[in-house]
Chain A
Amino acid sequence: KAGVTQTPRYLIKTRGQQVTLSCSPISGHRSVSWYQQTPGQGLQFLFEYFSETQRNKGNFPGRFSGRQFSNSRSEMNVSTLELGDSALYLCASSSRTGVFVQYFGPGTRLTVT
Chain B
Amino acid sequence: DQQVKQNSPSLSVQEGRISILNCDYTNSMFDYFLWYKKYPAEGPTFLISISSIKDKNEDGRFTVFLNKSAKHLSLHIVPSQPGDSAVYFCAASGGNTPLVFGKGTRLSVIA
Chain A contact residues, CB within 8 Å of chain B = 4, 33, 35, 40-45, 48, 55-56, 58, 90, 92, 97-98, 100-107
Q: How far is the CB of B81 from chain A (nearest CB, A)?
A: 22
Chain B interface residue bracket vs A:
20 to 34
Give the CA-CA distance A107 to B49 in the complex, in Å.
22
CB <8 Å contact, A104 and B99: no
Give the CA-CA distance A33 to B41 in the complex, in Å.
19
CB <8 Å contact, A90 and B43: yes
CB <8 Å contact, A105 and B43: yes
Give the CA-CA distance A100 to B30 in the complex, in Å.
12
Q: Once A and B bind, how many residue pairs between them come within 8 Å at the CB atom?
A: 57
Which of A43, A92, A102, A107 is packed against the most chain B CB atoms within 10 Å? A43
Chain B contact residues, CB within 8 Å of chain A = 4, 6, 32, 34, 36, 41-46, 49, 89, 91, 93, 95-104
Which residues of chain A are near B93, meaning CB under 8 Å? Answer: 100
Give which listed residue, B4, B41, B99, B104, contacts A100 with CB less than 8 A: B99
CB <8 Å contact, B100 and A45: yes
CB <8 Å contact, A102 and B46: yes
Give the CA-CA distance A47 to B30 in the complex, in Å.
19
Given contacts A101-B46, A102-B99, contact A42 B104 (CB under 8 A): yes
CB <8 Å contact, B96 and A97: yes
Which residues of chain A are near B46, meaning CB under 8 Å? Answer: 101-103
